[in-house]
Amino acid sequence: MPSTPIVPRAKAEGLYKEALYQGKTASLIEQDRGDRFQQRPGNLPRRTRAKIEIEVLQPLAFLPGAPGTPPKWDHRFPTVVGVRYERNAGR
């Protein structure tokens, strides 16, 4: 599957809308925060299954382990966005 280059948000939004207006199936993935992304597929035909693949390149954490236990590699990939704690300025 060919990868699409990263482009500025305004240009990506324009390309996405142009593809939708032309009747093409398109998708736009945007980074909301440093660790949160949102994907918007568009013009999917009715009753069609969509397979969306996102490739994530991220270093793994090496955990040496306690004496007598083998080392491990750790990777945590959150699949749910929870509520973020934000301080109340009035308190």
Q: What is the pLDDT of residues 15-74, one digit of tens each?
A: 999 999 999 999 998 888 776 788 899 999 999 888 877 777 777 888 888 899 998 988
Q: How far apart are CA 39 and CA 31, in angstroms?
A: 9
Q: What is the pLDDT of residue 16?
A: 95
Q: How far apart are CA 37 and CA 81, in angstroms?
A: 10
Q: What is the pLDDT of residue 52?
A: 78
Q: Does 84 have pLDDT greater than 70?
A: no
